[in-house]
Amino acid sequence: MESSSKLVNEKLCDAASRPLTNKECRNPLCRPVWNTSHWSECLAGCGESGVQTRMLTCSWKGNGNPAGRSCEGLPRPVLTRPCFNNCTHECVDASDYCSIVPMMKLCRFTNFRIKCCHSCSSMIEDPPS
């Protein structure tokens, strides 16, 4: 039998013996990895416990390009952690409206305590329900 190569219509070929068109990548740089951002500032009033958060993305280890959903199944890094605000910053009101925040009983909410630190510093209220 003589061996020769020529181009024929693919319908004439046996599909079961056709070679693969894709090959699995075994390069260690060709794998998805989770990436985390830096931790956020502590979201807490002065002298209080709060929470820090960070963002999570999935990318290819080799080039850093987005890897979509390829990280599914990999252990996810922690995205929140407790923190404590030691009040190292100067306690000042960040809005002209802070003078009415205590009267409206809004100092019990963390965001108001942070933005209106000076006005809320003497207020002790029940936590929100």
42 and 73 housed in the same domain: yes
Q: Could you read off the pLDDT of 59-82 as tens digits, one per residue?
A: 998 888 999 999 999 999 999 999
Is residue 56 included in any domain, yes or no?
Answer: yes
Q: How many domains does the chain have?
A: 2
Is residue 10 included in any domain, yes or no?
Answer: no
Number of H helices, E strands in the chain: 2, 4
78 and 36 housed in the same domain: yes
Using CA atoms, how far residue 85 sits from 13, 48, 52, 66, 82, in Å, is 71, 6, 11, 35, 10
Give the pTM: 0.49
Give dist(CA 33, CA 54) in Å, integer: 16
Q: Quick one: pLDDT at residue 9?
A: 83
Is residue 6 included in any domain, yes or no?
Answer: no
User: Which DSSP helix (H) or strand (E) runs through 6?
Assistant: none
Q: Quick one: pLDDT at residue 88?
A: 66
Is residue 103 included in any domain, yes or no?
Answer: yes
Q: Residue 112's domain spans which residues?
A: 90-123
Q: Quick one: pLDDT at residue 126?
A: 47
32 and 82 housed in the same domain: yes
55 and 73 housed in the same domain: yes
